[in-house]
Structure 1
Amino acid sequence: MTTGPPPTVSEAVDVVLEALSKVAEARVLLGVALRAEQEKTGASANELAQRVHGAMSRPLVLRALRNSD
């Protein structure tokens, strides 16, 4: 972390919320890319999970595929 003074609770919450927002945006982007790849190639969820090199498990790939834009 840091050697400086600790953040306030409010500052820490802001950082966490910003990180969660970025994760949510990344999941939407990945979902769009996965659905496009599936439409283009007919790849199964298992094949798509292998293509993301372990970054996501099959259940997470399935959830990303189900989410709408």
Structure 2
Amino acid sequence: MTIEPPPSVTDAVDAVLDALDRVDEARSRLGAVLRAEQAKTGASANELAERVRGAMSRPLVLRALRQKDGAPVGEHPSG
């Protein structure tokens, strides 16, 4: 068994920032899907928030429903 040395602080920070960027992209896609679902079905913000519970908080769902497609929904502090 080979044990890898721990990453440098810079490498660890870069990995976290990359992961946060992917989360931001996924939230943006989810926001677009929520807007489309609301337009198609007339689902309320509360119904949509319940459906995505665990993936997106109700405040972020509300924010996502107000956004235009392509706009970030909830960015991490460095973004």
CA distance, structure 1, for counterparts of residue 25 and residue 10 of structure 2? 23
- Give the secondary structure class of the aligned counterpart of 1:49: helix
What percentage of aligned pairs have identical amino acids? 72
| Superposition TM-score, scaled by structure 1 size | 0.83
More displaced 10-residue stretch of structure 1: 27-36 or 57-66: 57-66
Match of 2:60? Answer: 60
Match of 2:7? Answer: 7
Match of 2:35? Answer: 35
Whether 1:18 aligns to 2:21 is no
- Give the secondary structure class of the aligned counterpart of 1:68: coil
CA distance, structure 1, for counterparts of residue 54 and residue 19 of structure 2? 21
CA distance, structure 1, for counterparts of residue 49 and residue 25 of structure 2? 19
**Once the two structures are superposed, what CA deviation does each residue of 1:46-69 show, in whole Å capped at 9, x if it has no partner?**
010112244322112111212222
Give the residue type in structure 1 aligned to 2:64: A
Runs of 4+ in 1 over 3 A off after TM superposition: none
**Once the two structures are superposed, what CA deviation does each residue of 1:11-63 show, in whole Å capped at 9, x if it has no partner?**
11210111011011001100000000000011111010112244322112111
Task: Identify the structure with the greater helix proportion.
Answer: 1
Q: Which runs of 5+ in 2 are unaligned?
A: 70-79
Report the Cα offset of residue 4 of structure 1: 2.6
